[in-house]
Amino acid sequence: MSDLKSRFIEVYGVLKQELLNDPAFEFDHDSRQWVDRMLDYNVPGGKLNRGLSVVDSYRLLKEGKELTDDEFFLSSALGWCIEWLQAYFLVLDDIMDGSHTRRGQPCWFRVPKVGMIAANDGVLLRNHISRILKNHFRDKPYYVDLLDLFNEVEFQTASGQMIDLITTIEGEKDLSNHRRIVQYKTAYYSFYLPVACALLMAGENLDKHVEVKDILVQMGIYFQVQDDFLDCFGSPEVIGKVGTDIEDYKCSWLVVKALELCNEEQKKLVHENYGKVDPACVAKVKELYKTLDLEGAFVEYEKESYEKLTKSIEAHPTKEVQAVLKSFLAKIYKRQK
């Protein structure tokens, strides 16, 4: 594990202890143990990309200078707030979707004795963000901006989740909604939020960085299209999961693109087989994807997106912000997982 990552994980331990000893609530042994276990199960388990990128971005905004211990701690605390936000969304998403596994282990609500208590745990996770921000940022000039930022991104993400949920009802799928779902459900909190946190810490006004937001949202959309592509065409050994977007009737870029390219007969095939668990139906959809050369369409999309993003980034007036955006793009371009 990289030194940065292990230092980042140390900050999690500090934040967790503060929350387990929050003076606003009278903890006893059982409640403290519950929250301790719930946090360890749900918060630090992912790749931590979103959280780490706050620290990375802040360092690049400081022209790559070494961060002081205080700067490292604060940027890490904001990074962890994003990981907490992610955990809150995932715990509740898994209940709504009736999912079974997450990050290679049973979903939290599937754990014995947890069940629907997980819904309240989701609410707690969201509230922990406010506690962390209050504990460490209350005296900062950008405190209100941070609160506004987290509130707004949470609203955007929940609204994206809503359009995702209401468009998966059998027979009613409006497959043209892909961009909007992705933009609101994923791009804002995964791509814009980490950089916005770093900008606020660096004393920047977010209203002056609308174009940065636009670029990061475009990047988030490109990232999700890659995800959709890898779900079907990636190898399970590399991506670490077996894709089920076709069975799950997901509003995937592939099916949107397929419907754009296919004739009436092929359209009928999609409507008859998409969203069915039967392996034969899934195979028919995948066969159609090959016939329509969606792999080629994706390669074309990837090239076009990369060129467009690079052009937008290079048009940005400040070199530090350019460096942040370029580092994000470099991490995701042509990724295999």
DSSP string, 41-95: HHSTTS--HHHHHHHHHHHHHTTTPPPPHHHHHHHHHHHHHHHHHHHHHHHHHHH
- Residue 143, Cβ density class (10 Å: 0-12 exposed, 13-18 middle, ≥19 buried): middle
What is the tens place of the pLDDT at every residue in 119-168? 999 999 999 999 999 999 999 999 999 999 999 999 999 999 998 888 75
Place of tokens 């990047």: 219
pTM (two decimals):
0.93
- Contact status, residue 193 vs residue 50, Cβ threshold 8 Å: yes
What's the per-residue H, E or C state across 216-260?
Answer: HHHHHHHHHHHHHHHHHHCCHHHHCCCCCCCCCCCCCHHHHHHHH
What CATH number should be reported for the domain holding residue 10?
Answer: 1.10.600.10
- Contact status, residue 143 vs residue 133, Cβ threshold 8 Å: yes
For residue 169, the model assigns a pLDDT of 44
The C-alpha atoms of residue 301 and residue 293 are separated, in whole angstroms, by 13
1 or 245: whose pLDDT is higher? 245
- Rounded to an integer, the average pLDDT of 214-242 is 88
CB atoms within 10 A of CB 214: 12
Is 315 inside a domain boundary?
no
- Contact status, residue 80 vs residue 12, Cβ threshold 8 Å: yes
- Rounded to an integer, the average pLDDT of 70-91 is 98
Is 231 inside a domain boundary?
no
Is 45 inside a domain boundary?
yes
Is 73 inside a domain boundary?
yes
- Rounded to an integer, the average pLDDT of 280-295 is 95
For the cut 70, the answer to whether the pLDDT of residue 22 exceeds it is: yes
Total domains in the fold of the chain: 1
- Domain of residue 101 covers 1-139
% of the chain at pLDDT higher than 90 = 81
Q: What confidence category does residue 273 fall into, taking pLDDT thresholds of 50, 70 and 90?
A: very high
Is 77 inside a domain boundary?
yes
The C-alpha atoms of residue 72 and residue 79 are separated, in whole angstroms, by 10
- Rounded to an integer, the average pLDDT of 74-99 is 96
Is 60 inside a domain boundary?
yes
Q: Which of 257, 261, 185 is nearest to 228 (CA)?
A: 257
For residue 77, the model assigns a pLDDT of 98
Is 281 inside a domain boundary?
no
Is 239 inside a domain boundary?
no
